[in-house]
């Protein structure tokens, strides 16, 4: 095994409800307003929850050849589009690279389930001959990363994980490991989700996981706020270009920041409720810090999972206190899902992209809709218009159903 190598982020591709591309995402963050609205993709009236965060300005023809786009569902369209944006941002042409040293790691909670849902409706109405023959390849969860391999001709490590709402962060963490251990030089890594279909949406509504603040959609996602009542489902994607640092420097690549730690654990407690003591969420953070022996007091910013659910937010607050001690009250914390809802498997990747932008542009985003903090959530949550800052280390948390916990640690470039 080669000595551990350093890994940097050189490109960002984002498709989110608050904006598409680097400037779209950045402008959305600086606006400090929520993109959550009453759901328009279908009639949500049968459900308790009527709100969601949709990507309304995505046009597949802006990113893919029309014939190719027609063969892909929205989830795979998002994946390829985000990857194209990331590669353009990195000024990287994979056709000029050794394909064996380039790979893709993706995460998605539900994959092509919305397409499957639509095709099932056609089957019931018109019979099996009406079903799209490409359906089997759509519901194949590995389509998220395999379509990237096909699109860009890359033959290195390739995995799509389905680890719920932590899967995007896990994909980035595993891509980081692959480069660090010499298994690849370049990785496309991130998460994608396109879950806005009646059955998928309704499944989360039935278990009362989502907000019912239907009369105030823009205020429905409110991490750490006393009045939070559940998460808001969203769609979107984010992909980062990860490179071995020396090769990135040699080609004069733009570098946002360095990935320097990754931790993962499981609560082994419950499929939907977090472990009450937060101990395993804390262990994921400690593992990320221990990767390069970073002390807790060196971390200047945490992008929290902050799902806006009654149980997650105080549990995460407790876990942060366990890791950071008194510094937990000084470190800046944002829960950015107030902007764009919870895009399930894409959320961790979107939030990693936000960390990269926040670091390179020296500004930390606020926690949108945090107007009346929960007394049990008593950390230094950024509010209002955010904060100008240049933290040396940034941490991003992602937690998901099944008790999965993931943490990514970043270091400022330079």
Give the pLDDT confidence of 160-175 residue by residue, as tens digits: 999 999 999 999 999 9
Query: Beta-carbon neighbour count of residue 28 at 10 Å?
Result: 21
325 and 180 part of one domain: no
Which of 207, 225, 250 is at the close of a domain? 250
63 and 196 part of one domain: yes
pLDDT of residue 398: 98
144 and 115 part of one domain: yes
> What average pLDDT does range 124-143 have in this prediction?
92
The whole-model pTM stands at 0.97
> What average pLDDT does range 182-200 have in this prediction?
97
Residue 243 belongs to some domain of the structure: yes
Residue 365 belongs to some domain of the structure: yes
Cβ neighbors of 310 (< 8 A, separation 6 or more) are 228, 229, 230
Yes or no: say if 412 and 300 are a contact pair by the CB < 8 Å rule. Answer: no
**DSSP secondary structure, 209-245, as one string:** -B---TT-GGGS--TTBTT--SB-BB-EEEEEEEEEH
pLDDT in tens, 103-125: 999 999 999 999 999 999 999 99
Q: What angle do CA 311, 312, 315 make, to 5 degrees?
A: 90
Residue 2 belongs to some domain of the structure: no
Which of 229, 250, 271 is at the close of a domain? 250
Yes or no: say if 193 and 235 are a contact pair by the CB < 8 Å rule. Answer: yes
Active-site residue identified among 102, 342, 355, 377: 342
Active site residue 297: no
Burial of 271: CB neighbours in 10 Å, binned 0-12, 13-18, 19+ = exposed
Residue 404 belongs to some domain of the structure: yes
> What average pLDDT does range 139-148 have in this prediction?
94
Confidence grade of residue 36 (pLDDT, cut at 50, 70, 90):
very high
Which of 217, 250, 283 is at the close of a domain? 250
Range with the lowest mean pLDDT among 134-138, 195-199, 403-407? Answer: 134-138
Cβ neighbors of 122 (< 8 A, separation 6 or more) are 130, 131, 132
pLDDT at 193 over 50: yes
CATH number at residue 173: 3.40.47.10
Residue 256 belongs to some domain of the structure: no
Closest CA to 338 of 58, 75, 18: 18
3-state secondary structure of 410: strand
Distance, CA of 140 to CA of 191 (rounded, Å): 15
Its domain, for residue 122, covers 7-250
> What average pLDDT does range 32-46 have in this prediction?
97
Confidence grade of residue 4 (pLDDT, cut at 50, 70, 90):
confident
Spell out the alpha helix ranges (H) of 58-213: 66-70, 74-90, 113-126, 135-139, 143-152, 167-180, 198-206
Give, in order, the Cα–Cα distances in Å from 375 to each of 219, 227, 371, 372: 19, 11, 12, 9
Confidence grade of residue 182 (pLDDT, cut at 50, 70, 90):
very high
Active-site residue identified among 102, 165, 355, 377: 165
The whole-chain average pLDDT of the chain stands at: 96
Yes or no: say if 222 and 66 are a contact pair by the CB < 8 Å rule. Answer: no
Residue 255 belongs to some domain of the structure: no
Active site residue 165: yes
Number of domains in the chain: 2
**Tokens coding 124:** 């019931």
Residue 143 belongs to some domain of the structure: yes
pLDDT of residue 237: 98
Residue 367 belongs to some domain of the structure: yes
3-state secondary structure of 190: strand
34 and 157 part of one domain: yes
pLDDT at 137 over 90: no
pLDDT in tens, 380-403: 999 999 999 999 999 999 999 999
Query: Beta-carbon neighbour count of residue 195 at 10 Å?
Result: 26
102 and 25 part of one domain: yes
190 and 246 part of one domain: yes
pLDDT in tens, 341-359: 999 999 999 999 999 999 9
Task: Using only the alpha carbons of the chain, give its radius of gyration.
Answer: 20
Confidence grade of residue 1 (pLDDT, cut at 50, 70, 90):
very low
Share of the chain above pLDDT 70, in %: 99
191 and 169 part of one domain: yes
60 and 84 part of one domain: yes
Yes or no: say if 317 and 282 are a contact pair by the CB < 8 Å rule. Answer: no
> What average pLDDT does range 29-56 have in this prediction?
97
336 and 188 part of one domain: no
Q: Which helix (H) or strand (E) holds 324?
A: helix 312-324
243 and 335 part of one domain: no
237 and 314 part of one domain: no
pLDDT at 147 over 70: yes
Backbone angles phi, psi at 400, to 5 degrees: -145, 170
Question: To the nearest 10°, the Cα dihedral for 318, 322, 324, 330?
Answer: 30
Backbone angles phi, psi at 299, to 5 degrees: -80, 125
3-state secondary structure of 411: strand
221 and 361 part of one domain: no
Active site residue 269: no
Burial of 201: CB neighbours in 10 Å, binned 0-12, 13-18, 19+ = buried
Confidence grade of residue 138 (pLDDT, cut at 50, 70, 90):
confident
Closest CA to 410 of 345, 366, 364: 364
């Amino acid at each position: 095994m080669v000595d551990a190598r350093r890994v940097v982020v050189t490109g960002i591709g984002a498709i989110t409800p608050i904006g598409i591309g680097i400037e779209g995402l950045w402008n959305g963050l600086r606006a400090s307003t929520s993109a959550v609205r009453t759901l328009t993709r279908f009639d949500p009236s049968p459900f308790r929850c009527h709100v969601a965060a949709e990507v309304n300005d995505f046009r597949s023809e802006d990113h893919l050849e029309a014939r190719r786009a027609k063969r892909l569902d929205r989830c795979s369209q998002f994946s390829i589009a985000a990857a194209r944006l990331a590669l353009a941002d990195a000024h990287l042409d994979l056709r000029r690279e050794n394909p064996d040293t380039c790979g893709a790691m993706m995460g998605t909670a539900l994959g092509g389930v919305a397409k499957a849902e639509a095709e099932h409706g056609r089957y019931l109405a018109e019979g099996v001959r009406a079903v799209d023959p490409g359906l089997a390849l759509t519901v194949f969860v590995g389509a998220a990363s395999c379509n990237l391999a096909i699109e860009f001709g890359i033959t290195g490590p390739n995995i799509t994980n389905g680890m719920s709402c932590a899967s995007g962060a896990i994909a980035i963490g595993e891509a980081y490991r692959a480069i660090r251990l010499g298994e690849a030089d370049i990785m496309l890594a991130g998460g994608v989700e396109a879950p806005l279909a009646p059955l998928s949406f309704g499944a989360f509504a039935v278990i009362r996981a989502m907000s019912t603040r239907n009369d105030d959609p823009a205020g429905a996602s409110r991490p750490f706020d006393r009045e939070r009542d559940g998460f808001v489902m969203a769609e979107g994607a984010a992909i980062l270009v990860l490179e071995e640092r020396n090769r990135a420097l040699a080609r004069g690549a733009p570098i946002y920041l360095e990935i320097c730690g990754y931790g993962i654990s499981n609560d082994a407690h419950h499929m939907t409720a977090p472990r009450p003591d937060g101990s395993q969420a804390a262990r994921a953070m400690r593992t990320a810090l221990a990767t390069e022996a970073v002390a807790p007091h060196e971390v200047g910013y945490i992008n929290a999972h902050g799902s806006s659910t009654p149980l997650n937010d105080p549990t995460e607050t407790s876990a942060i206190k366990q890791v950071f001690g008194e510094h937990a009250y000084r470190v800046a914390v944002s829960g950015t899902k107030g902007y764009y809802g919870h895009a399930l498997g894409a959320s961790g990747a979107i939030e990693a992209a936000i960390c990269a932008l926040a670091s390179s542009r020296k500004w930390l985003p606020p926690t949108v809709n945090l107007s009346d903090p929960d007394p049990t959530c008593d950390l230094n949550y950024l509010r209002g218009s955010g904060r100008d800052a240049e933290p040396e280390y940034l941490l991003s948390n992602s937690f998901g159903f099944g008790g999965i916990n993931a943490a990514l640690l970043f270091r400022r470039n330079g």
